[in-house]
Amino acid sequence: MTRVAVVGAGPSGVFAAAALLDRRPDVHVDVYDRSPTPFGLVRYGVAPDHLKIKSVARALSRTLGDPRVRFHGNVDIGPDVPLAALRAHYPAVVLATGSPGTNGLGIPGADLPGHMPAGDLVDWYNGRPGARPAPAERRRVAVIGGGNVALDAARILLRGGSGLRHTDVPEHVLRDLDEHPTTDVHLVVRRGPAESRFTPAELAEFESLSDLDLRVDTAALPITDRAGIDRVTATRLATFRRWSTGRARTSGRSLTVHFHSPPVELAGRDRVEYVALPGTRLAVDLVVSAIGFRGRPLPGVPFDPERGTVPHELGRVEPGLYVTGWIKRGPTGVVGTNKACAQETVATLLTDLPTGRSDADPDLTADLPTVTWSGWLAIERAESALGATRARARTTIHDRHRLVRIATEPEGTTP
Ligand code: NAP
């Protein structure tokens, strides 16, 4: 049989595996991931209250559970198995490693305690193993950025723990969110509402949160019916117009949007106390920067430091090495965007892959505490059982050792 390796079990890697199975039924796929769990950004990136997007995991499970696919979780390609070893054993390796790095704010005070990249906050509330807890000082928060990740961060903080019990957020995070509630979020956007990248559905979600004042400076809003404006922008502007004219309430919680506000400085004595914007400053306890992600270079793989991606042609880095997803095209688009992206890469890969190969089983993980697909199914059962103890459908287990133990110990031996 012909074997192909995919590095990364997030949506882009799994969509690539699915496209391979679909187009070449004789191909077997080994999917490696450094996390003990599959689904990448669907598990650790998508906001926990976005249950519909999270349910993509069911489709990804069908691919990873296919008898022609093997999941090798808890295997870090590089430190555990060198990429060169993978390339020596597989005629084709697809890198689907995403954009795990974050852009730097690059302003004075950015290294003060009390500033965290949104990626770290997202890791924490989603229960990624090893995530750093969010600082407890977070009653007034500035979220910097005009994209949907900024909205996710603002919404999850404003929902608090009690507003997230219907999700799979780890129990300790729910407790922490309730014990240290956020009451005021300032959304700091460097350009105007028309140029911001918020999507209308994600903005509308704030309108369904109870007891929340929504505020935006009317002066920032252009006329909505100007010629040449596209439908998404018009809907976005209409939303902000609603927020700007909304009745002033006294809800005790607020989301205030500041447009045309490139942050100038973060300042404070020992930690962040305010964000300086042109002409004003906001007193805050925590700053979260949601200003985009970046790919990380992999040893031995070409890298474009400007774009933070691997240069490629239709997914081919060189014959035998391919990229798909955010490491290929940068951190844009929704989960489904990765499907077409993976199909393009797989089409290219298949033009290089000889038919009728008979590849030996490489078995590169024999000495490693690998999480297999049946190990993952044991984790799923444990997370459902843990959820049931608190009348929840499921609770994410965030401790790496516990995840690996559940996945690798014989059934019935793990509490
Ligand atoms: P994004 O949409 O690219 O937004 C990044 C924002 O950061 C932009 O507004 C950008 O402003 C701003 N920015 C960049 N550098 C800055 C700086 N130095 N100072 C101030 N602002 C700065 O990225 P994202 O929010 O990380 O989202 C990544 C992708 O995931 C997007 O395609 C997004 O739609 C998607 N996503 C979707 C959902 C969903 O569908 N529910 C949820 C989360 C993420 P400029 O525009 O001025 O450059």
Kindly state the tokens that stand for 181.
């509630």
| pTM of the predicted structure, to 2 decimals | 0.95
Candidate from 51, 197, 206, 261 with most ligand 1 atoms within 8 A of CB, to mutate? 197
For 363-373, letters b (16+ CB in 10 Å) and e give: ebbeeebbbbb
For 184-214, what is each residue's pLDDT tens digit? 999 999 999 999 999 999 999 999 998 899 9
Instruction: State the distance from the centre of ligand 1 to the C-alpha of 269, rounded, in angstroms.
Output: 30
Q: How far is the CA of 60 from the centre of ligand 1 (A)?
A: 25
Tens digits of residue pLDDT in 132-171: 999 999 999 999 999 999 999 999 999 999 999 999 999 9
Residue nearest to atom 3 of ligand 1 (CA): 292
- Mean of pLDDT values over 367-380: 96
pLDDT at 411: 67
pLDDT, mean of residues 260-266? 97
Q: Ligand 1: which residue has its CA nearest to atom 26? A: 292
Task: Write down the pLDDT at residue 371.
Answer: 98
What pLDDT score was predicted for residue 362? 85
Both structure tokens of 67: 């008898």
pLDDT tens digit string along 315-356? 999 999 999 999 999 999 889 999 999 999 999 999 999 887
Mean pLDDT of 61-86: 97
From the CB of 148, is ligand 1 less than 6 Å away? yes
- What is the crossing angle of helices 400-408 and 373-388, to 10°? 120
List % helix, strand, coil for the chain (3-state, nearest 5): 35, 20, 45
Kind and range of the H or E run holding 265: strand 265-267
What DSSP element (H or E) covers 348?
helix 337-352
What pLDDT does 250 receive? Answer: 66
Q: Which atom of ligand 1 is nearest to the CA of 293?
A: 26
Q: Is 146 in the pocket of ligand 1 (CB under 6 A)?
A: yes
Tens digit of each residue's pLDDT (9 = 90 or more) over 85-131:
999 999 999 999 999 999 999 999 999 999 999 999 999 999 999 99
Model pLDDT, residue 227: 64
Encoded amino acid at 25, one letter = P
Q: Determine contact, residues 174/164, Cβ cutoff 8 Å.
A: yes
Report the percentage of the chain scoring pLDDT > 70: 96
Q: What does the mean pLDDT of the chain come to? A: 94
pLDDT at 292: 95
Structure confidence by residue, pLDDT tens digits, 301-326? 999 999 999 999 999 999 999 999 99
